[in-house]
Structure 1
Amino acid sequence: MHRSKLTRLLVACAVGATAVVAPPAAAEAAPEPAWHRYVLGPAAPTVTPVRAEGRGDVTRPDALVSGRGRGATLTTVAGATPASVLLDFGRDVAGTPGIDVTAVTGAPTLTLVTGEARQYLRRPAATTVAAPATAGATVVTLASAANLEAGNTITFGTGATAQTRTVTAFDTTAATVTVGPALAQDVPAGTAVTTSPGAPASDESRGLAGVGGPDTFQPTAAGRLTGGFHGGFRFILLTLATPGSVTVSGAGVDFQAYRATPADYRGWFLSSDDQLNRMWYSGAYTLQLDIKPAGLNGLPETRIYDGAKRDRSIWTGDLLVQAPTAISTLGPPGADAVRSSLDVLLAAQRADGALPGSPDFGKGRNPAGSPLFYSNNYSGYGARAVIDYYRYTGDAAYATAALPALRRELAYNDTFMDANHLVVSNDRDFWQATQTGEVTKYSIDHHVLLREMAWLERRLGSADAAAADEAEADAIKAAVNERLWSPALGAYGQSSDHPDVLVEDANALALQYGIVPAERRASVLDALRRLWTPYGAILGPGLQDPTGHTIEPFGNGMETAGRFAVQDTAGALELMRRTWGPMVDPGNPLYTGGLWEFKNSSGGVNRATASLAHGWAASPTVQLTEQVLGVSPVGPGYATWRIQPHTGGLTWAQGAVPTQYGTITAGWASILFGQLVALQADTPAGTTGTIAVPATARTVVTVNGRVVWEHGHGHGYQATLADGYVQLTVPGGRYTVAAVGR
């Protein structure tokens, strides 16, 4: 085809794609941009339930949803099932519940408990018979009367001899339970006792967070009842625990996390894939739930906690995901939350250089908590979180002031290196298990810290220190490949003590950070697939955390990042769907709108306090922006940037990324079965960057209608071909790039 005709075709295709790849500024001018519908934050400061369900004697529970009519009336009589109402807010919220009472009869006690998952709102009794009970008895003495509720079933024993009765009354002081009908046969002391469904229970870790737990009210007249602060919950269970009657006209929550409406988003993402879109916004909402606003719980500054309900502490490992997510979605407010959290971390540094894994753990003892020096590996994570803050914000003054502290931390972690340039540390990591010997994961983490410190030193510190850090990082890389590679696994073993154990995290990081030689990459990718389940990748064969969870989204995020890094986009997106797909499915019983801390082998969670809005699980938000949309920082604060989309079978994607220089907007479309990519980008003046589009030597690439790559040769913008992309070096500005003929 003649060049002029080809150029016109490319431009026409690019322009034709603008229905999908419309510049975000134009999309934002529309009455309702398509991405707005994915935003999960509440539109108003007071959040009301979307569903209500009664148990026992409850009239008109739906009135608490509609807010109309005479309200819902709960009535409890002695010996009968206590009246209760389950309020469902549809997704996690955080804050202070309020109940509007319009009428009271008697002297009832009203209890309120919250939960992220409905299955944990009631806690069954699990005790034993303390004294023998004979046939015909209706009163049985138990070892404990905890979690009993009138109207529930109670079972004495198991198997063919089990007797199931109904609880009609109980005495918590004497630890006795009254049942009906009478026992048909003797029940020996020590017999196991279980109940169903159990008594109302909170799923919060009050001892850690210092917040939450049951709220108990004793209303005597009409008025508003206000509960305590609850950090993260989808459900409220209101129970009239003692005889009487209460009419409730309304219920809501004063939202007290970071409430972001579409107008508050400084970055956004939208693609042709609805499930991936939901992941992006669930990750953003998870961070909003994890942000403690200034002044809440007696603490003046904003902080980013690990989870909405637990531990409600700053954690360095979590910040590695949380910091980029907060900054790339919220812009300056997100950066402020990161910086104030780092202030708490740096202030708790030990004299030997160690940074605490959590600088404010255990707020059950005091509002500010106390530093927890959780692990040496997490100490290094803390230094990396500071560097990430600088990378995404360009805040040179903050990073310069922190540099001496980061050098001390690096020196501390250096002490765990042995003569083979590998890390030996009997230490915990994110899945709370000690690993001994020369540990692959810890060695790679130290390699990454050294690389990050070298990057920082070259910009704000010492070139000599940078060179020394790079040399040590190179030595670790060589040692990992020489001593920790397992030919039998076709991957890296867990450690020198366990060379035959395949682990996800170490191999994923080895891919992400260029440890794996090109000739070994396919083998590592194949080995990692052996760890996949329908619900995500396991830690490794036989490995689990102390509660039995085998799938960690934090580790799965390492693997998706590793697969993107070696151009296995299909594998990265497939694992993303397995791990996070169930979390963003509103039909999943554990759905909260947030992303979960961990999973068990069947895709659920093993304990009530499992966090279902946990910041370290939010990696899809950043990865979809940086890998699928393709916009990532290169220099501090995006002074230099890269736009390199991984299309992965999608037909289009678009979005925006906030920077200190202005917003970067980008969008691309893959047309004609992937044979053409049209990309549009608007980048801030005063910056420079690289735009890369999928191509081969046969591809023709145009920029703003001008051919810049043809017949394997560049004709502008320093066009080169590398790793399956034509790469263009451009100053800040507006560009339409089209590629055809691959």
Structure 2
Amino acid sequence: MPSFMSSARPSPRVARTVQAIAVAGALTATFAVAGPASAHTGASAPSWQQYVQAPSSRSVQPVTVVATTGDVSHPTGALGRGTAVLNRAAPAPKPVWPSGTTATASSYHDGNNGNDNKPRTYLPGNAVDGNTDTFWNDANAATYPAWLQITSPTAVKLPGITVLSNSDGMPQDFTVQTWDGAAWTTQATVTGNSDVQRAVAFAAPVSTTQVRINVTKDEASPKGEYTRINEVWPGLVAADPVAPSITLDFGKVVSGYPRISFAGASGNSPGVRLAFSETLQYLTDRSDFTRSDVSGGPGTDQYAVPQQGGIWTDTKGCVSGSKVCADGLHGFRYLKISLDALAADAPIDQAFGTVKINGVSLDFTPFLGTPSSYTGWFESSDKQLNQYWYDASYTNELVTDTFRSDDVDPRGADTPGLDGKLVLQDGAKRDRDPYVGDIAVSGRTTYLTHDTAVAARNVLADLANHQRADGWIPPASINNYTLPLFDYPMWWVTSSWDYVLYTGDTAYAQGYYPNLVKVLDDWYPSVTDANGLLAKGLNGTGGYGDYAFLGRTGEVTYYNALYVQALKDAAAMARSLGHGADADRWDARAQTVSTAINAHLWDSATGAYLDSATGPVRHAQDGNGLAVVAGVASPAQATSSLDYLAKNTALPYGNSFMDNDTLVSDGTQRVYAFTSYPDIQARFLSGQAGSAIDEIKRLYGWMAGHGPGITDWEGIGAGGSMYEGGYTSAAHGWSTGVVPALTNDLLGATPTGPGFSSWSVQPHPGTVSWARGQLPTPHGPLTVSWTVGKGSQKFSLTVTAPKGTSGSVAVPVSGKAVVRVDGRTVWNGSAAVSGSGAVLKDGCVTLSAVAAGSHTVTVTS
């Protein structure tokens, strides 16, 4: 989930109702145009396995040393090849002000409490307290001059001063003045400073009791930042020796508990500091996200290395009080190990000495998706699509992990209802908390790849167990289940039906059916207006957010199209449980809402759905994509709206989620794989498979070729960047929609009844010449393979369905094509053969009630 740190997705299409046909016999799968030979022989592993990304074991080693700084010898020792030695001489003592020195300033923040409820102070005195971890923070952003004045009780002879500042409030232009007893005299002027630690020499030594620093420009002043000075030393202080460090690359994003093997250390308890990042771009001395940083911590993990060495596992906790602390689990690709320590941690550890390292590894905690664990798989003639499918699967594996108190999101997310259970987290590094909107996508990915459906069930059940009395269902456990989102209760409905469709867990359906009734019949009616549409702002929902915490109000197409999908899915759930009256009522309401959407939110001038009925005119990817997937849009509207998006939102890295910047400043540059999934699915379902594949390649190709590679990002921003900088999660479950898009839509296989009791197979080849795959079901695997032929053989499809199931099959036809099932003609080129029940619609011949077993359907000219 973005920012707060959310999500969404549409549900499976309902198979067309057609005349029944009993298809007898079973034939072995055949291809008119064969795929790779290795896929058809027993001489080697199935060819799809070459794309699997997970590590081979739970002990993961870094693959290379990216960089070193300072005094480091034999850095490959960190890879287990000998011993790496980091050495740092003790720094010279810093000059100190006389006892009783004070400081005042033009302004300062009074301070506040962090998320750990510890006070933060930004007083002027922090600049002379000898603690480099505290700082003065002026209170007037971009207001100059901002001045800091230091007063000593006795005269001090100064050759100059040294200013230590924060990188996000570093003074660029400033003067240094001293008091001669009657007036201020400027001793030095600095312009264009770019050093966090700046020694400022005077023309000649000066004896004075007062020093004033006048700042006229900060490093970040155009952004309205504040001056932040950590320390002012009475003298010229040379920069400390560069901290020796080794930066390691694990080759891809991984998640778990780092381990370091120390061969020994000097006897002064030298410290090591660890910084983690998913990308080199955001790797600094602080992690690009760490849970203690959210709580006001230092943003690094620390350890005091004992003289005898030993193996240290990075686990959450502190050595003493709040000193020498670590977070434990991290999601990252790059690890920077520095011989360094916080000044406040002395004397438990020191920022100098010698440390010897002879190995680094990671205890990989997420689901380990090795080839043998795949219960479903996909492969096609397009190697890029294949790789994106398995990249997304690996991304989802990284977020499939046990919910543990020590490594979940710190913002009130821990909960007894999930502790110790397998869940689908939001992201590998953050948020480490399950959100139901994300599960709308990551759940489908889970069902199609591995036997881990319980991870989705655990979250869906837990959220239902925390349903509010008025029927609203929380989006996640964060903030003790109180985060107010408007759309996520609908994703709980659709995700629940998905879970039942793919797993057949009717006990879950029966147990939580009352929750479904309450959210649809109590809460959403309370936010429905006179037009029959959901309107954010009613019933106190003006401050509610959505998957991206967007400031949308009133009648919004996305909310209402999602509502239609939720009502249809709820009706299907009700029918499966024998609640016909509920099903009829929800189907009728879905139709009413669809009609209202088309009456009030369709923009005929543009040929696309409005984002909102109020405010500036704009058109959003989420609402238009979902309107097609949910069946709100007519075929003509679907074509028009998708064409509009293709022409007005296409970027080299996907399709932007807005067509202008009236809602957010980067609406035309921001891309979410989350909202791109229904856009892509809509293109497949409306006969635009080529357009769907093009969007997949731009979006997933960009992520595979940038950033950490392999894994799928939470969001993409201007120019293809991480949309929220280093805070962005580069391995996010809600971005894995390429898996269901390729399996359910391109390959064409979906469940239509609980547990695949019924299913639909309707390929959408686009530019792909052949595809095959397997879908796990409670009855056994459902396998599908098809080939686009040449010459007279136009298309060949083989479906092997497990016992206890039946389904429908649709194959593309054109002209006077003849369709045969297991060698028997069912369509003679212009009409159905008597008794076959074949139906021609939308360029496909469809057969229903296809029995279990293996069946081959061919299309010839």
Judge same fold: TM > 0.5, yes or no.
Answer: yes
Within 5 Å, give how 1:237-276 maps onto structure 2.
Answer: 237-241=336-340, 242-276=351-385
Where does residue 36 of structure 1 map in the other structure? Answer: 49
Where does residue 443 of structure 2 map in the other structure? Answer: 323
The 2-side partners of 1:263 and 1:717 are apart by: 41
How big is the shift at 1:209?
8.3
Alpha-carbon contact 2:555-2:612 (below 8 Å) kept = yes
Where does residue 314 of structure 1 map in the other structure? Answer: 434
How big is the shift at 1:692?
1.6
Structure 2 residue 837 is matched with structure 1 residue 727: no
Where does residue 78 of structure 2 map in the other structure? Answer: 64
Identify which of 437, 445, 455 aligns with 2:554.
Answer: 437
Where does residue 410 of structure 2 map in the other structure? Answer: none
Identify which of 381, 388, 400 aligns with 2:491.
Answer: 381
Task: Name the CA shift for 1:554/1:626 in 2 (closer, same or farther; >3 Å).
Answer: same
Q: Deviations over 1:689-726 (max 9, x none)?
A: 11221113511222233333222233465322111112
Where does residue 51 of structure 1 map in the other structure? Answer: 64
Identify which of 234, 247, 250 aligns with 2:333.
Answer: 234
Q: Which amino acid aligns with 1:343?
A: A
TM-score (norm 1): 0.81
How big is the shift at 1:430?
1.3
Alpha-carbon contact 1:269-1:654 (below 8 Å) kept = yes
The 1-side partners of 2:161 and 2:801 are apart by: 76
Say which SS state the counterpart of residue 810 (structure 2) adopts: strand
Identify which of 75, 88, 97 aligns with 2:87.
Answer: 75
Where does residue 709 of structure 1 map in the other structure? Answer: 827
The number of equivalent residue pairs is 650
Alpha-carbon contact 1:486-1:499 (below 8 Å) kept = no
Q: Which amino acid aligns with 2:428?
A: A
Identify which of 139, 146, 154 aligns with 2:161.
Answer: 139
Where does residue 156 of structure 1 map in the other structure? Answer: 172
Alpha-carbon contact 2:684-2:746 (below 8 Å) kept = no
Alpha-carbon contact 1:138-1:178 (below 8 Å) kept = no
How big is the shift at 1:652?
1.3
Alpha-carbon contact 2:29-2:856 (below 8 Å) kept = no
Q: Deviations over 1:556-593 (max 9, x none)?
A: 112111111211111111111122211122xx2x1242
Q: Deviations over 1:326-363 (max 9, x none)?
A: 111113xx2111111112111111111110011x215x
Identify which of 10, 14, 17 aligns with 2:33.
Answer: 17
Where does residue 109 of structure 1 map in the other structure? Answer: none
Alpha-carbon contact 2:286-2:298 (below 8 Å) kept = no
Alpha-carbon contact 1:696-1:721 (below 8 Å) kept = no
Identify which of 302, 306, 320 aligns with 1:220.
Answer: 306
How big is the shift at 1:450?
1.1
The 2-side partners of 1:323 and 1:12 are apart by: 32
Alpha-carbon contact 1:484-1:499 (below 8 Å) kept = no
Higher helix share: 1
Q: Which amino acid aligns with 2:599?
A: E
TM-score (norm 2): 0.70
Structure 2 residue 790 is matched with structure 1 residue 672: yes
Task: Name the CA shift for 1:156/1:199 in 2 (closer, same or farther; >3 Å).
Answer: farther
The 2-side partners of 1:413 and 1:183 are apart by: 73
How big is the shift at 1:190?
4.7
Alpha-carbon contact 2:437-2:491 (below 8 Å) kept = yes
Task: Name the CA shift for 1:717/1:262 in 2 (closer, same or farther; >3 Å).
Answer: farther
Task: Name the CA shift for 1:477/1:199 in 2 (closer, same or farther; >3 Å).
Answer: closer
The 1-side partners of 2:298 and 2:823 are apart by: 60
How big is the shift at 1:311?
1.3
Task: Name the CA shift for 1:475/1:15 in 2 (closer, same or farther; >3 Å).
Answer: closer
Task: Name the CA shift for 1:382/1:76 in 2 (closer, same or farther; >3 Å).
Answer: same
The 1-side partners of 2:586 and 2:422 are apart by: 33
The 2-side partners of 1:607 and 1:296 are apart by: 27
How big is the shift at 1:451?
1.0
Task: Name the CA shift for 1:356/1:262 in 2 (closer, same or farther; >3 Å).
Answer: same
Task: Name the CA shift for 1:293/1:166 in 2 (closer, same or farther; >3 Å).
Answer: same
Say which SS state the counterpart of residue 714 (structure 1) adopts: coil
Alpha-carbon contact 1:147-1:198 (below 8 Å) kept = no
Say which SS state the counterpart of residue 773 (structure 2) adopts: strand
How big is the shift at 1:511?
1.3
Where structure 1 has 5 or more consecutive residues not aligned to the other structure, the ranges are 1-10, 81-126, 149-153, 168-176, 363-369
Where does residue 629 of structure 2 map in the other structure? Answer: 512
The 1-side partners of 2:61 and 2:716 are apart by: 29
Q: Deviations over 1:157-214 (max 9, x none)?
A: 49x97445766xxxxxxxxx45488899x97335424899995011225169889952
The 2-side partners of 1:353 and 1:674 are apart by: 58
Task: Name the CA shift for 1:198/1:454 in 2 (closer, same or farther; >3 Å).
Answer: closer
The 2-side partners of 1:202 and 1:307 are apart by: 16
The 1-side partners of 2:793 and 2:468 are apart by: 56
Alpha-carbon contact 2:819-2:829 (below 8 Å) kept = no
The 1-side partners of 2:167 and 2:587 are apart by: 59
Say which SS state the counterpart of residue 653 (structure 1) adopts: strand
Task: Name the CA shift for 1:55/1:555 in 2 (closer, same or farther; >3 Å).
Answer: same
Task: Name the CA shift for 1:714/1:484 in 2 (closer, same or farther; >3 Å).
Answer: same
Structure 2 residue 206 is matched with structure 1 residue 206: no
The 2-side partners of 1:271 and 1:36 are apart by: 13
How big is the shift at 1:270?
1.0
* % identical aligned pairs: 30
Say which SS state the counterpart of residue 252 (structure 1) adopts: strand
The 2-side partners of 1:416 and 1:320 are apart by: 22
The 2-side partners of 1:77 and 1:307 are apart by: 40
The 1-side partners of 2:360 and 2:145 are apart by: 38
Where does residue 104 of structure 1 map in the other structure? Answer: none
Structure 2 residue 497 is matched with structure 1 residue 418: no
Alpha-carbon contact 1:432-1:545 (below 8 Å) kept = no
Within 5 Å, give how 1:509-658 maps onto structure 2.
Answer: 509-529=626-646, 530-540=648-658, 541-542=660-661, 550-585=670-705, 588=706, 590-605=707-722, 606-658=724-776
Q: Deviations over 1:52-108 (max 9, x none)?
A: 12222222223333x22x22211223569xxxxxxxxxxxxxxxxxxxxxxxxxxxx
Alpha-carbon contact 2:704-2:710 (below 8 Å) kept = yes
Q: Which amino acid aligns with 1:371?
A: Y
Q: Which amino acid aligns with 2:788?
A: S
Alpha-carbon contact 1:21-1:680 (below 8 Å) kept = no
The 2-side partners of 1:528 and 1:165 are apart by: 44
Where structure 2 has 5 or more consecutive residues not aligned to the other structure, the ranges are 1-26, 93-143, 151-157, 175-188, 205-211, 221-227, 229-280, 316-327, 341-350, 408-418, 538-543
Task: Name the CA shift for 1:583/1:380 in 2 (closer, same or farther; >3 Å).
Answer: same
Alpha-carbon contact 2:163-2:198 (below 8 Å) kept = no
Alpha-carbon contact 1:165-1:179 (below 8 Å) kept = no
Identify which of 486, 493, 507 aligns with 1:397.
Answer: 507
Say which SS state the counterpart of residue 277 (structure 1) adopts: helix
How big is the shift at 1:499?
6.6
State the structure with more CA Rg: 2
Where does residue 214 of structure 2 map in the other structure? Answer: 188
Q: Deviations over 1:384-441 (max 9, x none)?
A: 2212111111111110111001100112112111121111113422121121222222
The 1-side partners of 2:68 and 2:217 are apart by: 33
Task: Name the CA shift for 1:581/1:15 in 2 (closer, same or farther; >3 Å).
Answer: closer
Alpha-carbon contact 1:570-1:648 (below 8 Å) kept = yes
The 2-side partners of 1:304 and 1:653 are apart by: 29
Q: Which amino acid aligns with 1:140?
A: T
Q: Which amino acid aligns with 2:54?
A: G
Say which SS state the counterpart of residue 248 (structure 1) adopts: strand
The 2-side partners of 1:634 and 1:481 are apart by: 27
How big is the shift at 1:467?
0.9
Which is worse superposed, 536-545 or 226-235? 536-545
Task: Name the CA shift for 1:208/1:460 in 2 (closer, same or farther; >3 Å).
Answer: farther
Task: Name the CA shift for 1:543/1:671 in 2 (closer, same or farther; >3 Å).
Answer: farther
Q: Which amino acid aligns with 1:447?
A: V
